[in-house]
Structure 1
Amino acid sequence: GAMAELERGGSAHAFASGMAAIHAALLAAGARAGTRVVAALDAYGATVTLTQRLLTELGAQVRLVDVSDLPLLETLLAETRPVALLAETISNALLKVADIAALAELAHRHGAQLLIDNTFASPYLCNPLTLGADFVIHSATKYIGGHGDVMAGVVVTSAENRKKLYELNKLVGGVLGPFEAWLAMRGCKTLSLRVRQQCVNAARISEWLAAHPKIARVNYPGLTSHRQHDLAQRLFGERGFGGMLSFEIANAGRAEVFRFMEALQLCLPATTLGDVYTLMLHPATTSHRALTAEERARVGIGEGLVRLSAGIEDVNDIIADLHQALARIA
């Protein structure tokens, strides 16, 4: 109920993880043997693997595409007539922003349902159902739970899709336990407070990094240098640009990135996000490790890329930690 209200949807269904939620939403949208699915090229690595490998092995055809290239996407949708188009509000690792209203219009014109993973934005910044999405998915492990102590997933959809999801949840059994549901519910109560501060911190951190000589590139929708800054401003700019960012350390390979991450004292290296603590990870060896080196190169996930999830600490402490850790690499 709380998630349905937060996302302005007809009904919400809780799952044991974000991946269980995505899997169920794809099945509810009609992904089966002989059908086609189009997914964002730069989505979370496990999402790409789920669609590319598992759905393909089960007999569905999956095409990956840069969803920010609308003419290319339209051509592909017209060609494939998929049952589902899957994208992320803000993409995992490269922070690309999806034009949800345009995606919904294109998907519906070509007979597909639109599935949006809203994990990176959280319901505080964006409500994709109000922009035309058919299913909204969250790894509630992240911003919804908010304290790094619960694993959960949520799918919010219309009243019409409710029955399909309910049946799937029952049959496949990826249901959320009562204690985890209670923890996620506790997280909902402080969501707006936490995300507001995380947005403020991420904005300051991204500006500081952008001016640092050892940083080649910063991906953050709040920076005017971001390719889709205007779209982000339109979608959620009034509230902030999210707590997630990523940056490329200049001329750094895996060894330099690991040296930087091992030198951190306040920020924690961790394979999650949306926590009250500032967390960092190396996408090439964690979130996108299941992709081949060629697949990562195609997406733009380099060896020098670091993903940062801003916490709610004093931003000057976070920046001081980044400063001393960057000083450790030649």
Structure 2
Amino acid sequence: MTGNNEAGMMTKLAADWHDESDYSYAKVSPISMSSSFVFDNIDDLDEVYGGKEGYIYSRIDNPSTNYVNKLIAGIEGYDEAVTFGSGMSAIITAILSFVQQGDHVIASTVLYGGVHDFLKNELPRFGIDITFINFVTDNVEDYIKPNTKIVYTETISNPLIEVIDLQTIADTAHKHGALFIVDNTFATPSVCKLINFDVDVLLYSATKFLGGHSDITCGIALANGDHAAAIRTKKNLYGGIISPFEAWLLTRSLRTLDLRVQRHCDNALKLAEYLEKHPKVKKVYYPGLASSPFRQLAEKQFEHNRFGGMLSVEFTGGYDGVDKFIRECKLIKFIPSLGGYSTSLTYPAKTSHRGHTPEELKASGISTGLLRFSVGLENIGDIINEMENVLSQI
């Protein structure tokens, strides 16, 4: 238990609060594989449309999605969670819930490439202005306009693993009446609780660490009050929903989230410390390193001395070096995703950020020698041994 007698995260995640009597006293809540639900009469239907608890159509809600939504909202501390069919669906729906023609959005230069491309290419089509800035070196207030409605960033940036000063940016956004929207995918609630930093809308690609098993594709948006209602309404309209089966798989995954993230973080720190000393490594991007410029801020914002399971590495051999590195790896798989149970790597310039121009790659700090690693749950000594063997060959 915590000091205020609130149950800890693992206790909340392990709790079964569904009514077992509804499902023949099953320990695990079943999958509700139904697209629609039966009513006895028109009055009953009207009551559910009017707000009474119940289900109408699975694009709107479903027992399996409702269950996982409540589970996530409970551990994050927000009024409501809304699940989607992918992280991009969650992000795009959340942003479009709060902007219209004539508005302005500020976003980080260093973002997941898909989000960057949406902001750069799609928002202007709707008459929405976008400004990209460096949230580490630039003063957000210098870029605020009277029509700024959203300030958008990531807790830990993709792929440079920078840590953003959340409270300072939240205060600036709110001072000017803008919403602060943050993607917490790389951190997870086991590393950083965004409710503590006045974040208005919290986003996840739950395909990654929250799902954790490389077997689901889904996204989550969390918010309070009218903000949550706005996102839910747009979700119902746009239709980017999660399936009941994937909602059930996500529930399964969340039961072990905190345990898995602890292992991811422990392994990532050990791997980062090893790589930092290797002569064929130019730079390691990981906030848990004593040498990291983000270590102090990470200690302030992150919980339980955890710094996340993601790190990026710039190798001395440039493109040819990383290409050979990828080809020689056996345990470490080349995968254009992250957050699974096994260690993987990706080449941002050709995967997550392949839509960037050369100028945008340079502005984002993405070099030809940069690899991003998602550190898994293995015995880390085996991963380090593979690194040692592969690096000796490039």
Question: 2: CA distance between counterparts of 1:21 and 1:211?
Answer: 39
Q: Which amino acid aligns with 1:286?
A: T
Instruction: Give the corresponding residue for 1:282.
Output: 347
Instruction: Give the corresponding residue for 2:3.
Output: none
Instruction: Give the corresponding residue for 2:78.
Output: 9
For residue 211 of structure 1, the aligned residue among 274, 277, 280 is 277
Residue 242 of structure 2 corresponds to residue 173 of structure 1: no
Instruction: Give the corresponding residue for 2:321.
Output: 256
Instruction: Give the corresponding residue for 2:152.
Output: 86
Alignment partner of 1:136: what SS? strand
CA deviation after TM superposition for structure 1 residue 160, in Å: 2.3
Instruction: Give the corresponding residue for 1:45.
Output: 113
Instruction: Give the corresponding residue for 1:60.
Output: 128
User: CA distance change for structure 1 residues 213 and 80 in 2, over 3 Å: closer, same or farther?
Assistant: farther
Paired positions, count? 325
Deviation per residue, 1:23-64 (Å, 9 max, x gap): 011012x22221100001101111110111111122100000
Mapping of residues 189-200 of structure 1, within 5 Å = 189-200=255-266
Question: 2: CA distance between counterparts of 1:283 and 1:117?
Answer: 18
Q: CA RMSD in A?
A: 1.1
For residue 312 of structure 1, the aligned residue among 374, 377, 382 is 377
8 A Cα contact 2:102 2:147, kept in partner: no
CA deviation after TM superposition for structure 1 residue 178, in Å: 0.3
CA deviation after TM superposition for structure 1 residue 76, in Å: 0.5
199-208 vs 50-59, greater mean Cα deviation = 50-59
Instruction: Give the corresponding residue for 1:301.
Output: 366
Q: Which amino acid aligns with 2:213?
A: H
Q: Which amino acid aligns with 1:230?
A: Q
CA deviation after TM superposition for structure 1 residue 80, in Å: 5.2
155-164 vs 312-321, greater mean Cα deviation = 155-164
Question: 1: CA distance between counterparts of 2:175 and 2:312?
Answer: 34
Q: Which amino acid aligns with 2:209?
A: Y
For residue 213 of structure 2, the aligned residue among 147, 152, 155 is 147
Instruction: Give the corresponding residue for 2:204.
Output: 138
Question: 2: CA distance between counterparts of 1:3 and 1:253?
Answer: 41
Q: Which amino acid aligns with 1:3?
A: I
Instruction: Give the corresponding residue for 2:87.
Output: 18
Question: 2: CA distance between counterparts of 1:58 and 1:108?
Answer: 24
Alignment partner of 1:23: what SS? helix
8 A Cα contact 1:129 1:135, kept in partner: no
Residue 171 of structure 2 corresponds to residue 105 of structure 1: yes
Q: Which amino acid aligns with 2:193?
A: N
Q: Which amino acid aligns with 2:368?
A: E
Alignment partner of 2:208: what SS? coil
Question: 2: CA distance between counterparts of 1:286 and 1:6?
Answer: 32
Alignment partner of 1:322: what SS? helix
Q: Which amino acid aligns with 2:307?
A: F
Structure 2 unaligned runs (5+)?
Answer: 1-69
8 A Cα contact 2:190 2:303, kept in partner: no
Q: Which amino acid aligns with 2:128?
A: A
Question: 2: CA distance between counterparts of 1:139 and 1:321?
Answer: 29
Q: Which amino acid aligns with 1:15?
A: F
Question: 2: CA distance between counterparts of 1:217 and 1:255?
Answer: 17
203-212 vs 5-14, greater mean Cα deviation = 5-14
8 A Cα contact 1:18 1:154, kept in partner: yes
8 A Cα contact 1:81 1:110, kept in partner: no
8 A Cα contact 2:162 2:287, kept in partner: yes
For residue 268 of structure 1, the aligned residue among 333, 340, 343 is 333
Structure 1 unaligned runs (5+)?
Answer: none
CA deviation after TM superposition for structure 1 residue 262, in Å: 1.1
CA deviation after TM superposition for structure 1 residue 322, in Å: 1.0
Instruction: Give the corresponding residue for 2:21.
Output: none
135-144 vs 51-60, greater mean Cα deviation = 51-60
Question: 1: CA distance between counterparts of 2:329 and 2:156?
Answer: 26
CA deviation after TM superposition for structure 1 residue 237, in Å: 5.1
Question: 2: CA distance between counterparts of 1:108 and 1:281?
Answer: 36
Deviation per residue, 1:267-294 (Å, 9 max, x gap): 1110111111001001111111000011
User: CA distance change for structure 1 residues 249 and 121 in 2, over 3 Å: closer, same or farther?
Assistant: same
Q: Which amino acid aligns with 2:276?
A: A
CA deviation after TM superposition for structure 1 residue 303, in Å: 0.5
TM-score, length-scaled by structure 1: 0.96
Q: Which amino acid aligns with 2:89?
A: A
CA deviation after TM superposition for structure 1 residue 124, in Å: 0.6
CA deviation after TM superposition for structure 1 residue 100, in Å: 1.0
Deviation per residue, 1:187-235 (Å, 9 max, x gap): 1101001000010000000000000000000000001221111000111
